[in-house]
Structure 1
Amino acid sequence: MDPENRLVARGLEAEWESALLELKTAESELSDREHARPRSLTHEERDAILALGKDLKRIWFAPTTSDRDRKELLRTLLDDVTLRVERDKYNAHLTLRWRGGLFSEVNVPLPHSHPSPIRTADDTIDLLRRLAAHYPDTKIAGILNRQGRTTATGLSFTANRVSSLRTHWEIPCFEPKQQVQDGECMTIEKAARALGIAPSTLHRSLNDGFIAGEQITPGAPWRIRINDELRSRFVESAPEGYVKMFKAMNLLGVSRQTILQRVKRGELKAVHVYRGRAKGIRIQVPAVAPDLFDPLKNTEGVV
């Protein structure tokens, strides 16, 4: 046989075998489907199903009927549903085509959508409530702007916008308070006048931690609470036993920052001399107890 004919024959043989395999697979699938075909209902089963169909409402609302069961029930009863939305009327018109050819039309009202109102951020409103108890609207506007906050429409704050926001949320405006029991809280400039010192001196004392300050929020002005304890820290001349800072550093063998930290914690007493040439902080260095382990300092009275 010619080689070309042999190749053609082999190709036909392969196609024939492939066709036979597909036929065998199809016959097997058909046999499986025939065996899986549901059996015919008995007369009793058919009558029971027809009875259930007459009481569909009871089946639908039965506590044992799940949402999945209701969906399956609708798929059994309906062929298709056509939906037409009438947005201008806030209505949805449904056309139901039931099994058997019947049609039903249902109108379903749609909820009126309300766009969420534009409003200022909640954390900004909370901050405004705290600031309004201490500062006027102009000062509050500056603080909010320094923190990069904006109005609901993205604008920077002004005194009028702060006032409008306060009015909307019924936040009382700032009212200067009289001196309270533990001292009046003042701005640095006002506190400096009350103490009779320069504002720069009070600034340095605040930065050094020599005195404490209050700040409602980052970016707000510092406020100093004036009371008797604070007044006693600023004197015209140093009391006896108080030394300059560098001498206290040498006597205690620690840095200036460590001394200021001890003053802040109340472990060391300190004053600030604000008159004369020898201005600055003075530290009361505690008396150093004798070294109990130095034999040369503990020989007196030993027999």
Structure 2
Amino acid sequence: MRTVIQEVVADIDDKASEIVLLIHWIGGAHTELRLPKRRRGQRNSTSGNIITAIRQLVLIASDDLIAGILNRNDLVTGHGNRWTRERVTAHRSHHKIPVFQPAPDGTEPWLNLNKAARLLGVAPKSLRHAVEAGEIEGIHPLPDGPWIFSRSELGKPRAQQIVHRARQNPKYPAGSHPRSAKPIPFNGIDRWAL
């Protein structure tokens, strides 16, 4: 660095609450960098919503996968960094969130949408519509992330009603709840409208 930089002068701009760095290059050029200055009492902590999402995602996902999901949702750490496996692990450790451990017997207590739908024998779209309609409980911590279902919830009568409805109408297994759908004629053919 000393071969290209002659000196760096640092100053503080209190009005803008920034640290101003003036870099004097060997060739005579100067570059000014402005960095945000941390205010007294200001903390660079990760949002509570992100910690809650990690707490929920760890039910079905490893730290690698959680980092990918957080990045896909354009979420960053308190310091503004992208997520890595190491950063997820550090946050889990700091907030005492247990690590994801696959069940030794393969019977996972928590399932993603595809595994839950496979367990019930319905299409994933049918199950997603049911949870969005409030017919069954599911967790969706992030908009661009997985749905999470409790295996015990999938054994309840409400889940069996979804299975029964999907099997009653195999042509439209992901259709709406029977009370909210009604046929309307369209060019002489009955079409289902939501």
Normalising by structure 2, we get a TM-score of 0.48
Q: Which structure has the highest helix share of the two?
A: 1
Q: Which structure has the highest strand share of the two?
A: 2
Asked which structure has the greater CA Rg, the reply is 1
Normalising by structure 1, we get a TM-score of 0.34
Q: Which has the higher contact order (CA 8 A, sep 6+)?
A: 2
